[in-house]
Amino acid sequence: MNDIPTVMEEIKSLEERVVDVLKTCFDPEIPVNIYDLGLIYEVKVNEGNDVHVRMTLTSPACPVAETLPPDVENRIKELPEVNSARVEITFDPPWDKEMMSEEARLELGMW
C-alpha cells in the first residue's frame, strides 16, 4: 500500500509534477497558492527537462517581487528530473481576479 503514491508520481508527467510544486508556493498576502490564484501563465518542459515558467504577480508593486520568483525556481529545481528551471515575470496580460480558479474564489469569498 505504501508504494501507491510512488507509482502515481511516476505516472504523472514532469509538467504535472511542476504544477504540483507550484501549488505549494503561496503569495504571503493571500492564503491561496500561486497556481490557483492564476499567477501562472505557462509551464513548458523541453526534452532535456529544462523548465520554463511564465508568471505574473498580483501587481507590479508586489512586496514579494524579488523573493517569490527565485523561491519558485528553487522549488522546481528540487524535482530530481529537472535539469534547470527559469521563472519569467510578465505583466502582459495584467493579472485580475477573474484568473483565479473557482476554488480560490470560493476560499477567498469572492464568488
Domain ranges within the chain, ordered by starting residue: 14-99
CB 72 within 8 A of CB 22: yes
What's the topology of domain 14-99? GMP Synthetase; Chain A, domain 3 (3.30.300)
Helix (H) or strand (E) holding 86: strand 84-89
Asked if residue 5 has pLDDT above 60, the reply is no
Q: How does pLDDT run across 20-63, given as a tens digit for each residue?
A: 999 999 988 888 999 999 999 999 999 999 999 999 998 888 88
Find cell 504577480 and name the residue: 57
Q: How does pLDDT run across 71-87, given as a tens digit for each residue?
A: 999 999 999 999 999 99
Residue 22's closest CA among 32, 13, 12? 32
- pLDDT for res 9: 52
Q: How far apart are CA 68 and CA 88, in angstroms?
A: 11
CB 58 within 8 A of CB 27: yes
